[in-house]
Amino acid sequence: FEKVMIEQKTKVGDKLIKAAKGVIKDLFNITCLSDDEDVIMRDFKKYADSMKHDLDRIEDKYSVEPRYPGKDIIKKGKSLLSDLLLITFPTEFFNAVKANEDDLLNFGEDIEPVKKFFAGDQKNIFDQCLDILRIYAESKTYIVDGETESAAKGIRDIISMSSPYTSIHKLPGLREKFMTAYGDLLEKQAVPIMAAVESARDRVFEELDGKKCRDKLKDRYIARFDELRTKVQHCNNVAVLQGISVEADAMKMRCLNEIDAEEAKLTTPVSPVDNGGDTPEPQKKNKKMVSIKTINTSNTWQIETEADVKKYVSELENRLMAQLEDNTIINIVF
């Protein structure tokens, strides 16, 4: 008898048990038939632990895309459940459930649309529209089109809602509207870009025509410019499309320099005439091709006065002078 330890146990009131069973039913969608406080507490913790693990898996998705809705709800629910899981004494546990009853029930209502969002098609629709906003953000400098801007704004307004679930059904229509308008814009802007590619190609093959290295380089250059053409035809981003014209110019300069280098290798140097050594043999000069776009970086010149003319000419002269190198012929390519 002296080794027996006795602990007095305080009985949990019926109201507390009823509140806990109500939370189990509404939050976990499970009916608890037992009135035993130990069984109720055990089952409650089991369901809470399972739900917390589900919330952990959902929370991981926000590290990939923080704009997904429901992040604050997940955080609040995890906090509520974690606090209850740490309690070991029944009386303290049931009192805590009762004190947080409203928050737990509200969380139960709020978490349902979040779970449906990640489990169904809403997330896929959301992802597609996030891609639309990314494309728009990269291209908006080049977009002056009411339909495209209106569709992008409608998508952005829904994406930025804290609870967009009842409006997500509008996104496919807005996405279709954006893609149609954006596609028309791409077709229009592709015309001058394709012309720039063709112009660069023509300049390269004009230079290659009649050269000894033509057979060696021709197929390689055809493939390079065909790749640029395909890139223009399949481009789905206005910003990327605009960059292809710069790429075409860089390709042109690269090819022209290659032609010059290859031709120099294939050309037999002329033997100098023996003049008794009195006159030094002239040193062969290097050749360098430079695009006019690297010399004149301005797209337009605004001229009103004579001073404006002198300013632009002076800037152009300074850039040309900077290109000079010893024993080198500079070819400016337009």
The per-residue pLDDT for range 28-40, each reduced to its tens digit, is 999 999 999 999 9
Residue 314 has a pLDDT of: 85
The per-residue pLDDT for range 185-194, each reduced to its tens digit, is 999 999 999 9
Measured CA distances, 1 to 6, 7, 9 (Å): 10, 14, 20
DSSP-assigned letter for residue 171:
H
Rounded to an integer, what distance in angstroms lies between the CA atom of residue 79 and that of residue 105?
Answer: 14
The residue behind tokens 């690269």 is: 254
The per-residue pLDDT for range 243-302, each reduced to its tens digit, is 999 999 999 999 999 998 898 888 765 555 555 555 555 566 666 667 776 777 666 788
Residue 301 has a pLDDT of: 80
Residue 6's pLDDT band (boundaries 50, 70, 90)? Answer: low
Residue 173 pLDDT greater than 80, yes or no: yes
Q: Which residues of 192-230 are buried (b: 16+ CB within 10 A; e: fewer)?
A: ebbebbeebbebbbebbeebebbeebeeebeebbeebee
Lowest mean pLDDT across 102-111, 201-210, 213-222, 323-332? 323-332
186-192 long-range contacts, Cβ below 8 Å, gap at least 24? Answer: 186/235, 186/236, 186/238, 186/241, 189/142, 189/238, 189/241, 189/242, 190/232, 190/233, 190/235, 190/241, 192/245
Residue 179's pLDDT band (boundaries 50, 70, 90)? Answer: very high
Residue 108 has a pLDDT of: 95
Measured CA distances, 228 to 204, 231, 241, 243, 259 (Å): 14, 5, 10, 11, 19
Rounded to an integer, what distance in angstroms lies between the CA atom of residue 138 and that of residue 77?
Answer: 37
In 3D space, the residue among 315, 203, 218 whose CA is nearest the CA of residue 250 turns out to be 203
Residue 290 has a pLDDT of: 74
Exposed, middle or buried, 234 (CB in 10 Å: 0-12/13-18/19+)? exposed
